[in-house]
Amino acid sequence: MITNERSIRHEHILAVAHQMMTAARTAPKGKGMDIIEIITISGDEIKTLSERMIDSVNDHGMKFFLRDGENILEAECIVLIGTKEKSLGLNCGYCGYSNCESRKNGVPCAINSIDLGIAIGSACATAADHRVDSRVMFSAGMAAKELGWLQDCNQVIAIPISGSTKNPFFDRRPKTV
């Protein structure tokens, strides 16, 4: 049997995405509380996400969403990792407030954000272990949050992945309106 890499690339990239999801799930979490949500999108959902990113520029003015919105169309799939809001009651002050009770509604618990970062790092390390190109994107995560794909998550980050000849997520040129 002869197998051409090009014929199995998409299947392989999806398998790596699934391993990235497991790495994010098993990453350490503050006080052992698992409030992380993880999904992978591909195909038409990437196009939907791209359109949302590009359309949102008129709302917030962050023009790099134009570049990123076009750029994610080169991804085989995108891993989305988000965190729900849950105070861990540590009164650590990392959120900028002296204790958890004084933290204003809408201000994220810093430990939730740290847990999200550790999950992202674990997922990206898995991609690197498999020599799959990736990039962490706040922009695509924000658009995914607006689409409601990770229910009840107040912070979402996207990791588009690719197995192409050259990493499409670097050496990107800014897009104009």
Q: Dump pLDDT digits (tens) for 56-115.
A: 999 999 999 999 999 999 999 999 999 999 998 999 999 999 999 999 988 999 999 999
Q: Given this model, what pLDDT does residue 169 score?
A: 85
pLDDT tier, 171 (very low <50, low <70, confident <90, very high otherwise): confident
Q: Given this model, what pLDDT does residue 175 score?
A: 66
Predicted confidence (pLDDT) at residue 147 exceeds the cutoff of 90? yes
Residue 63: partners with Cβ closer than 8 Å, 6 or more residues away? 57, 174, 175, 176, 177
- Contact between residue 60 and residue 123 where contact means Cβ atoms under 8 Å apart: no
Where are the chain's structural domains? 8-162
pLDDT (tens digit, 9 = 90+) per residue, 126-143? 999 999 999 999 999 999
Q: Given this model, what pLDDT does residue 165 score?
A: 86
pLDDT (tens digit, 9 = 90+) per residue, 99-124? 999 999 889 999 999 999 999 999 99
pLDDT (tens digit, 9 = 90+) per residue, 18-43? 999 999 999 999 999 999 999 999 99
Predicted confidence (pLDDT) at residue 174 exceeds the cutoff of 90? no
Find, among 82, 85, 107, the residue nearest to 96 by Cα.
107
C-alpha pair distances (Å), 82 with each of 23, 37, 58, 145, 154: 14, 5, 24, 8, 7
Q: Given this model, what pLDDT does residue 32 score?
A: 92
Q: Given this model, what pLDDT does residue 173 score?
A: 74
For range 151-161, the mean pLDDT? 96
Class of domain 8-162: alpha beta
